[in-house]
Amino acid sequence: MAVPVGLNIYSGLVGQTTPYLDQTAAAFESLWFPDHVQYGGKNVAEGWSLFVYALARYPDKLCGHQVLCNSFRNPAHLAKMAATCQILSGGRVVLGIGAGWNEEEYHAYGWPFPSAKARIAQLAEAIQIMRLMWTATPVTFHGAYYQVENAYCEPYPEPVPPVMVGGAGERFLLRAVAQHADWWNYIYLDPASYAQKQEALKAHCRAVGRDYDEIVQVIASQILIAESEAELERLRARPDVRPVTSNGIAGTPDQVAEALLAGVAQGARRVHVSFADSPRGDGTQLFVERVLPHLTA
């Protein structure tokens, strides 16, 4: 089955983001951006700014985040931001969002860092507010974490942006996916781990009365790709190539294609990829030439 394939951008590209995308974006159906303000002392660019610039610069691409940190923005204001971008872009916005996890940037920027359970509960309230803002203003919402009073978001976005929730926590996060997400974004490593998360999501869907099959599953992986095992080892030794042990797939074109197609066979309806050697375009181009046709044919 053919699936759309999107290009996910590494947060540390900063000023190299646009040159890299100008070289590589054409082959991909969509573009996906990070959302960090601070990350291990590395240079990072603010996520919403990257996204807005890309919407204008690449007018044939669906754009979103993988994923926004819910804690960084007031949800009613975020709904208004997304609605405005949806109108200006002609309907190319996906609202990708998650509960947040990088404690360093919370403390550095002065945001409270509650428990994971509380952050996920905040995420659930935020999605509810955004959906109301996009369809039923004025909105009044009194939750445990957010308060909105007679808030307007007009004109409404057309179409209403899909909400993609990222994460894999089986107890709380996947329940939020079952209750509130249009799309589910999962960092894909192997079929067994993916199957375990799918079963957890199915259980939550049964519990809340949601049709599991209506949730669009997105598998996302960082890719390290080379023509041979020897070339892979050479790339792994480079200081400018990021490891993929916990968030992706390393292999030859045939191996990468086999791994991603296995995820599609399990139910993924979209594939998002980033590249461990970016902003160098070598791995991206090899993927486009040798792997992408297997996914989009």
- CB neighbour class for 190 (10 Å; exposed up to 12, middle 13-18, buried from 19): exposed
Q: What is the predicted pLDDT for the residue at 297? A: 87
Q: How high is the mean pLDDT of the chain? A: 97
Q: What is the predicted pLDDT for the residue at 39? A: 87
Q: What's the domain range around 257?
A: 5-296
pLDDT in tens, 196-235: 999 999 999 999 999 999 999 999 999 999 999 999 999 9
CB contact set of 278 (below 8 Å; sequence gap of 6+): 9, 10, 13, 20, 284
pLDDT band at 42 (very low <50, low <70, confident <90, very high): confident
Tell me the C-alpha distance between 61 and 75, whole Å.
Answer: 25
Residue 151 in this model has a pLDDT that exceeds 80: yes
pTM score over 0.85? yes
Residues paired with residue 272 on neighbouring β-strands, in sequence order: 6, 220
* Residue 102 DSSP class: -
Q: Mean pLDDT, to the nearest integer, of 241-249? A: 94
Q: Mean pLDDT, to the nearest integer, of 7-29? A: 96
pLDDT band at 40 (very low <50, low <70, confident <90, very high): confident
Residue 90 in this model has a pLDDT that exceeds 90: yes
* DSSP state string for 50-84: HHHHHHHH-TTSEEEES-EEGGGS-HHHHHHHHHH
Q: Are strands 5-8 and 270-275 parallel, antiparallel or unpaired?
A: parallel
Residue 157 in this model has a pLDDT that exceeds 90: yes
Output the six-digit token pair for 13: 């590209």
Q: Mean pLDDT, to the nearest integer, of 90-100? A: 98
Distances (CA, A) of 155 to 23, 74, 82, 210, 230: 35, 19, 11, 30, 56
pLDDT in tens, 258-293: 999 999 999 999 999 999 999 999 999 999 999 999
Say which residue the tokens 């890299």 belong to.
20
Backbone angles phi, psi at 218, to 5 degrees: -120, 125
Q: What is the predicted pLDDT for the residue at 232? A: 97
pLDDT band at 1 (very low <50, low <70, confident <90, very high): confident
Q: What is the predicted pLDDT for the residue at 258? A: 97
* Amino acid making up residue 247: N
pLDDT in tens, 169-204: 999 999 999 999 999 999 999 999 999 999 999 999
CB contact set of 73 (below 8 Å; sequence gap of 6+): 48, 81
Output the six-digit token pair for 71: 């804690």
Q: What's the helix, strand, coil split of the chain in %, to 5?
A: 45, 20, 35
CATH number at residue 196: 3.20.20.30
Domain count, the chain: 1
Output the six-digit token pair for 119: 């952050």
% residues pLDDT > 70 (the chain):
100
Residue 200 has, within 13 A of its CA and on its CB side, a CA count of 19
Secondary structure of 176-228 in HEC code, one letter for each residue: HHHHHCCEEEEECCCHHHHHHHHHHHHHHHHHHCCCHHHCEEEEEEEEEECCC
